[in-house]
Structure 1
Amino acid sequence: MDTGILHSILDNDFYKFTMQHGVVKLFPKARARYQFINRGKHAFPLGFAEALRKEVDAMAGLKLTIEEKKFLADACPYLDPTYLDFLQGYCYNPKEVVIEQQGEDVQIFIEGYWYRTILWEVPLLCLVSELFYKFQDTERVPDETVIETTKDKIEKFKALEIKVAEFGTRRRHSYQVHRMVMETLCRYGKPSFVGTSNVHFAMINQVKPIGTHAHEWFMFHAAKYGFKMANTMALEHWVDVYRGDLGIALSDTYTSTSFFRQFDKKFAKLFDGVRHDSADPVDFAKQTIDHYRSLGINPMSKTIIFSDALNYDKVNRIASYCAGKIGMSFGIGTNLTNDVGLKPMNIVIKMTEALPEDGEWTPVVKLSDERGKYTGEESMIALAKSVLHIN
Structure 2
Amino acid sequence: MLRSILDNDFYKFTMQNAVVKLFPNAYTRYAFINRGKHRFPPGFAVRLREAVDAMAGLQLTSDERLFLEEMCPYLDPTYHDFLQGFRYNPLEVQIEQDGEDLSVTIEGLWYRTILWEVPLMTLISQIWYEMADEKRDDDDTVVARTRQKIEHYGHLGVRIAEFGTRRRHSYEVHDLVVGALKRYGGSTFTGTSNVHMAHRHNVKPLGTHAHEWFMFHAARFGFKMANTLALEHWVEVYRGDLGIALSDTFTTQIFFDSFDKMFAKLFDGIRHDSGDAIDFARTTIEHYQRLGIDPRSKTIIFSDALDTEKVENITRFCEGRIGMSFGIGTNFTNDVGLKPMNMVIKMTETRPEGRQWLPVVKLSDIREKNTGDPEMITLARRILSLPS
TM-score by length of 1: 0.99
Return the offset for 1:307. 0.2
Q: Are residues 1:285 and 2:281 paired? A: yes
What secondary structure is seen at the aligned counterpart in 2 of 1:173?
coil
Q: Residue 381 of structure 2 aligns to a residue in which SS?
A: helix
1:228 maps to which of 224, 244, 261: 224
Distance, in Å, in 2 between the alignment partners of 1:390 and 1:159 is 41
Partner of 2:363: 367
CA distance in 2, matches of 1:359, 1:265: 34
Identity of aligned residues (%): 66
Structure-to-structure mapping, 1:176-325, within 5 angstroms? 176-325=172-321
* CA deviation profile, 1:209-261 (whole Å, cap 9, x unmatched): 00000000000001100000000000000000000000000000000000000
Equivalent AA in structure 2 for residue 222 of structure 1: A
CA contact (8 A) 2:25 2:354 kept: no
Moved over 4 A (4+): none
DSSP-derived class of the 1:191 partner: helix
Alignment-derived partner of residue 151 in structure 1: 147
Deviates more, 1:32-41 or 1:356-365: 356-365
Aligned-partner residue type, residue 64 of structure 2:
E
Cα distance in 1 between the residues matched to 2:46 and 2:355: 36
CA contact 1:276–1:305 (8 Å) conserved in 2: yes
Q: Which residue of 1 is the match for residue 322 of structure 2? A: 326
Q: What is the deviation of 1:47?
A: 0.3
How far apart in 2 are the matches of 1:104 and 1:283?
40
Deviations 1:6-36 (A, max 9, x none): 0000000000000000000000000000000
Match of 1:175 in 2: 171
CA shift, 1:360, in A, is 1.5
| Contact in 2 for aligned 1:224/1:359 (Cα 8 Å) | no
Q: Where do 5+ consecutive residues of structure 1 fail to align?
A: none
Query: Following the alignment from structure 1 to structure 2, what is the Cα–Cα distance between the partners of residues 305 and 173?
Result: 24
Report Cα offsets for 1:340-366 as digits up to 9, x if no partner: 000000010000001110422100000
Q: Which residue pairs with 1:161 in the alignment?
A: 157
Which amino acid letter does the alignment assign opposite residue 186 of structure 1? K
Measured after TM superposition, the shift of residue 191 of structure 1 is 1.1
CA distance in 2, matches of 1:322, 1:354: 38
TM-score by length of 2: 0.99
- The reply to whether residue 389 of structure 1 matches residue 373 of structure 2 is no
Provide the rounded CA distance (Å) in 1 between the counterparts of 2:269 and 2:178. Answer: 26
**Pair 1:69 & 2:65 matched:** yes
Distance in 1, Cα, partners of 2:355 & 2:265: 33
Confirm or deny: 8 A CA contact 1:151 1:184 kept in the other structure.
yes
Q: d(CA) in 1 for partners of 2:283 and 2:320?
A: 16
| Alpha-carbon offset, residue 205 of structure 1 | 1.0
Which residue number in structure 1 is paired with residue 15 of structure 2?
Answer: 19
Tell me the CA shift for residue 76 of structure 1.
0.4
**Counterpart selection for 1:87 from 80, 83, 88:** 83
SS, match of residue 225 in structure 2: helix
SS of the aligned residue for 1:354 comes to strand
CA RMSD of aligned residues (A): 0.5
AA matched with 1:146: V
2:2 alignment counterpart: 6
In the TM superposition, what whole-angstrom CA distance separates every residue of 1:58-93 from its partner, at most 9, and x where no partner exists?
A: 000000000001110110000010011000000000
Q: What does residue 353 of structure 2 align with?
A: 357
Structure 2: which 5+ runs fail to align?
A: none
The code of the aligned residue for 1:390 comes to L
